[in-house]
Structure 1
Amino acid sequence: MAVSGWLTLVFLLNTKVILCHLVEAPPKKIAIIGAGVGGSSAAYFLRQKFGHNVGIYVYEKGAIGGRLATVTVNGQQYEIGGSVIHPLNLHMQEFVKQLGLKHRKGVPEKAAIFNGDHFVFEETDWYLQDLFKLWWRYGFGLLRLQMWVEEIMEKFMRIYKYQAHGYAFSTMEEMLQSLGGERFINLTQRSVTETLQELGITQRFIDEIVTAVTRVNYGQSASIPAFVGAVAMAGVQSGLWAVEGGNKLVCSQMLESAKAHVIHTTVTSISLQQSGDKPLYQVKYENENEGGYDFYDIIVIATPLHHETTNITFSGFTPPLTPFAGQYKHIIVSVVHGYLNSSYFGFPDPKLFPFATILTVESPKLFMLSIGSICPVNITANYRRKQPQEAAVWKVFSPKPLAKEQLKTLFRSYYSVQVTDWLAYPQYNSGKGIPPIILHDNVYYLNGVEWTASAIEMSAIAAKNIALLAYSRWNQHLDMIDQKDLVHKIKTEL
């Protein structure tokens, strides 16, 4: 081959290598609908992926933080939304570290499970004694449950390695398949009761321990899907923590770090204005004083798109976009400042009442899901939990607002009651489908992750997945999406 031919070949090869690493011009503007933990972390991760020249606009009709919220009692703030974080929630751990926040100081407490007549289980000050009591009443149910939850968590933890290497998934099913194969898919379609029964766990353990946990975490019975049940059980493990000053600080700090423009208004519609390789979308919004619209290259919807939860309409999309099937669960949170009626729980002398948290089983006698003495979001070095005979701040979860007679049942007297009605999480039914992530070319739905399991960290994981997915799809890096056998692929890369 002539010298000029070699030079041409070398030039072409080098050009091909360069083109393989080129990226498209970044989007000019990205819209995020919702400033809860999902929307806020989406802004944070999108800024990391697309750089500083992209405008990120976050629409929020309420307070930043969404369901990470607080109420004020006597000048102190108390959590009424997502209140605990697991020690293995690595995104939340990293947020706290990078944003200069702190872990809240823990305050010891004891819990019990109430059936409407008496306590079926009471925690003591001695861990080994508690284990013996659990074994005596339930056999090896606790050990089998812990092994099951830890196996699921070990496999699910692979997501952090996948995301660290830039891999994304176009559906939650693809993500679950990559993490745990068909078994993880099955866990979203079968009830936790059925799954645990196959592990040899007794019905008594399911009815008392497992149901108490699913009621306090999701307001639902052990008929919820097994994957949600595993997340619920992880939510009562040791080492749980919260953010000093309130978990909602993570959201506001992430938005500030991302240099996001927060627009406090209600989004009313999203429409496709220009199709083609790079579509353009119009977002219309309005509030009491004015309305308006703007255009965006990418949209992330980080608020539920289900009946009863959204008023956003869509136009210009083929096929049409409509709200998804399924409902969100109403949970009433009553924050009561008062004196607990310990006699209702079998302790006539309040000084002898030892429990800070009371979970419940399913019983027609019960009108509440749980009740707990809660601590403020700022805990000083000399802080101590209120004694049982003192007025304390209690958080009551219930499926319906508490009537006056019910409040009188739970409390000898009280100074104040603050009530919040949350559409807190999906009403889970085994066999319900998981909503899609990709609604259109560059329109993504974050809150569909809640139908896999609703948790603070799940929203953060979904946010990073969408940031990676949007970046790879924008730049046509399709080899970074829905890759098979990632466990072995990443081991090879390392």
Structure 2
Amino acid sequence: MLSRVVFTSVTILLHLISAAADQSQSPLHDDPLRVPQSKTHRVAIIGAGPGGSSASFYLNQFSQSLDLDVDLDITVFDANPRIGGRTTTVNALDDPRYPTELGASIFVKVNHILYNATRDFGLAPSGKIYEATPESQYELGIWDGNQFVFKTASDDDDDDDTRSSWRGWWDIAKLLWKYGLSPIRTQRATKAAVGAFLQVYEEPLFPFRSLQEAVDRTALDAYTGVSGREVLQETHVSELFSREIIQASTRVNYASNLGGIHGLETLVCMAIEGAMAVDGGNWQIFDEMVKRSASRVLLNTTVTDVTQDPGKKSYRLQTNDPDLDAHFNADAYDTVILAAPYQFANISFTPPLVDPPSKIPYVSLYVTLLTSPHQLSPAYFGLQSQADVPSSILTTLPEYLNDELSSRRGVDAVGPPGFWSISTLRVLHPDIDGLSFSGPISSNSNSNSTNSGRRPTETDTESDTNSKTDSETQYLYKIFSPAPLTGTFVSWILGFPHAPTSKEDPVSTLPKEDITWLYEKHWHSYPYETPRRTFDNFTLHTMSSLMNGPEPEAEGENLFYLSSMESFISTMETSALSGMNVAKLIIDQLQLQQRQPQT
């Protein structure tokens, strides 16, 4: 339930306009019967992730709520063949019955934009985000590389509310018995931090031209300016609860220990009430936003240059496709929104930017999705029974390494566990799960599999190894790690023999009867949310705009940047909030210009 990392296929709505390139360019709202308003304001949005999609949607929403004498013409560009950015799904077993989140997995009840959009768009919530295996009596465990420091019981699927409630209360009792008042103090601190953050959605703070102003006025710098470890110490949360429970959450969500992540993001990780996802993929939220607002979306299209017209506040865009430029970009854009991290966008600005967004370090996250007939090995985790192995495993540091590794990054921070998390997403039965299936299912029942990893010993018994698994049963796993997994590691955790044939030992070399399907992805998933008190603005300035006066904002700024939000909080919701905020700034600016007398 704790995982909500930050990551689609999309139906192209109309037709290809250029047969020369394999590109998807879709006019969305080009209605020949629509009567144009007196003026057209052209907006280019570079990036169709949560921020860019939200900016498009709320530009349309806010403009419709006002009597503006302006017709918005919105073009959304993205280098990918899909909408959604880091929210994307792939089909496990190459079967469309099993769409699986590769990026951002869940959102929660306090994520007002996503929660409301899911409801308003009529998108179905997913029934289960994770699934406990029938054999395991534990849904979740926290592993420090040597032992499980905490486990939560699985809910039965027998509709026995009394039994389920009893297990829930037993987990709460275990928390309070072991950690005292720390869980309650954490809940209170989380509620206070989230309450301060929610002020930015409403007047008088919203919309905020400066993220710095919003942080200062809500006093959130008290959380962002110090590490999670320090915030928890100030609120009298015990070191034991911080390390064993909260650090497991910051590791699975942001690949960071408590010494290397700021206090606000730490507490956000604990705001898990109402966790949900969209059935079929969260990308559908952003796909709907673009469908309902943009005039056209140009996918597989990389914007390479943004050039400001001399003496004007309008911009010419150039992409990797000259034919597309001739068709769509012949006219200048009145407003440009960069909805992708500046350091990865590789866009040239002419004139150059004054004080461009600072380069910040991003997490290098490896996501491995795989299916296998094998369950997680009891022997690897030093357990005697399959029932004792949690279906999903978060990790933390052992006490003796916590101080040393707390502020480190990547492979230097992961410690003895070697991975951030392993989740059992689903138990698959392709033969009976509904539609016809043609995926690569093993016919090997593997009834006598033996462990070859580092934990099994000569005293292992039959209960230490995987029991016979019917060929129709497959377990879908999702593993977060700071480096690529090896075949040896996967064979260890799933308990089957493996003899590496190369030094690299990639997972892809494992036999199909053991790993029936594999998908590996390397993300620059989110920034390292290190403690900081200063943040970039939502506006970008060129040398030309700076020469117009000391405060170019006073005359209206037309170049905006969304990823300044990333170092503050990096989630689907806050990216969408950034887009909504900039959309309101633009519409308010247009309204102000409309009220000014024409000269």
Q: TM-score range by the shorter chain?
A: 0.7 to 0.9
Shift of 1:86: 0.4
Find the counterpart in structure 1 of residue 105 from structure 2. Answer: 83
Conservation of the 8 A alpha-carbon contact between 1:273 and 1:316? no
Shift of 1:257: 0.7
The within-5 A match list for 1:132-151 is 132-151=173-192
Answering whether residue 393 of structure 2 is matched by residue 358 of structure 1, we say yes
Find the counterpart in structure 1 of residue 151 from structure 2. Answer: 122
Find the counterpart in structure 2 of residue 111 from structure 1. Answer: 140
The amino acid of 2:558's aligned partner reads: N
Answering whether residue 334 of structure 2 is matched by residue 316 of structure 1, we say no
Conservation of the 8 A alpha-carbon contact between 1:472 and 1:478? no
Shift of 1:25: 7.1
Give SS of 1:400's match: coil
Moved more, 72-81 or 105-114: 105-114
Find the counterpart in structure 2 of residue 31 from structure 1. Answer: 44
Moved more, 186-195 or 169-178: 169-178
Conservation of the 8 A alpha-carbon contact between 1:78 and 1:375? no
Find the counterpart in structure 1 of residue 253 from structure 2. Answer: 217
CA distance in 2, matches of 1:166, 1:474: 19
CA distance in 2, matches of 1:375, 1:68: 19
Specify whether residues 375 and 46 from structure 1 end up closer, same or farther in structure 2 by C-alpha distance, changes over 3 A only: farther
Find the counterpart in structure 1 of residue 423 from structure 2. Answer: 372
Structure 1: 5+ residue stretches without partners: 1-23, 480-494
Give SS of 1:54's match: strand
Find the counterpart in structure 2 of residue 407 from structure 1. Answer: 490
The amino acid of 1:314's aligned partner reads: F
Find the counterpart in structure 2 of residue 460 from structure 1. Answer: 576
Find the counterpart in structure 2 of residue 449 from structure 1. Answer: 565
Give SS of 1:116's match: coil
Shift of 1:38: 1.0
Give SS of 2:153's match: coil
Specify whether residues 427 and 166 from structure 1 end up closer, same or farther in structure 2 by C-alpha distance, changes over 3 A only: closer
Give SS of 2:91's match: strand
Conservation of the 8 A alpha-carbon contact between 1:27 and 1:54? yes
CA distance in 1, matches of 2:562, 2:538: 6
Conservation of the 8 A alpha-carbon contact between 2:84 and 2:283? yes
Conservation of the 8 A alpha-carbon contact between 1:31 and 1:58? yes
Shift of 1:229: 1.0
Conservation of the 8 A alpha-carbon contact between 1:359 and 1:369? yes
Shift of 1:156: 2.3
Answering whether residue 237 of structure 2 is matched by residue 196 of structure 1, we say no
Find the counterpart in structure 2 of residue 69 from structure 1. Answer: 88
Specify whether residues 228 and 477 from structure 1 end up closer, same or farther in structure 2 by C-alpha distance, changes over 3 A only: farther
TM-score between both structures, scaled by the size of structure 2: 0.68
Q: Deviations over 1:175-216 (max 9, x none)?
A: 2334x2x3x122111111101101111112222111110000
CA distance in 2, matches of 1:240, 1:376: 20
The within-5 A match list for 1:231-242 is 231-234=268-271, 237-242=272-277
- Count of residues in correspondence between the two structures: 438
Give SS of 2:258's match: coil
Match for residue 168 of structure 1 among 199, 207, 225: 207
Q: Deviations over 1:125-164 (max 9, x none)?
A: 51222122222222211110000001122232233333xx
Shift of 1:405: 1.5
Q: Deviations over 1:240-267 (max 9, x none)?
A: 0011121001111111111431112001
Find the counterpart in structure 1 of residue 77 from structure 2. Answer: 59
CA distance in 2, matches of 1:327, 1:195: 22
| Structure with greater strand percent | 1
Give SS of 1:28's match: strand
Answering whether residue 517 of structure 2 is matched by residue 416 of structure 1, we say yes
CA distance in 2, matches of 1:258, 1:402: 41
Conservation of the 8 A alpha-carbon contact between 1:113 and 1:360? yes
Specify whether residues 472 and 376 from structure 1 end up closer, same or farther in structure 2 by C-alpha distance, changes over 3 A only: farther
CA distance in 1, matches of 2:38, 2:269: 43
Q: Deviations over 1:103-123 (max 9, x none)?
A: 111366421100111100011
CA distance in 2, matches of 1:239, 1:27: 42
Q: Deviations over 1:27-79 (max 9, x none)?
A: 52100011111111110001122348211000001121110011111202100
Give SS of 1:345's match: coil
Conservation of the 8 A alpha-carbon contact between 1:44 and 1:258? yes
CA distance in 2, matches of 1:175, 1:192: 21
Find the counterpart in structure 2 of residue 46 from structure 1. Answer: 59
Find the counterpart in structure 1 of residue 535 from structure 2. Answer: 434
Find the counterpart in structure 2 of residue 226 from structure 1. Answer: 263
Shift of 1:167: 3.6
Shift of 1:287: 4.9
Conservation of the 8 A alpha-carbon contact between 1:31 and 1:296? yes
Specify whether residues 268 and 232 from structure 1 end up closer, same or farther in structure 2 by C-alpha distance, changes over 3 A only: same
Find the counterpart in structure 2 of residue 302 from structure 1. Answer: 339
CA distance in 2, matches of 1:241, 1:153: 18
Give SS of 1:343's match: coil
Match for residue 298 of structure 2 among 260, 263, 271: 263
Match for residue 155 of structure 1 among 191, 196, 203: 196
Give aligned-pair identity as a percent. Answer: 27
CA distance in 1, matches of 2:518, 2:323: 32
CA distance in 1, matches of 2:40, 2:591: 10
CA distance in 1, matches of 2:258, 2:365: 17
Specify whether residues 112 and 446 from structure 1 end up closer, same or farther in structure 2 by C-alpha distance, changes over 3 A only: same
CA distance in 1, matches of 2:378, 2:75: 50
Find the counterpart in structure 2 of residue 17 from structure 1. Answer: none
| Structure with greater helix percent | 1
Shift of 1:391: 2.8
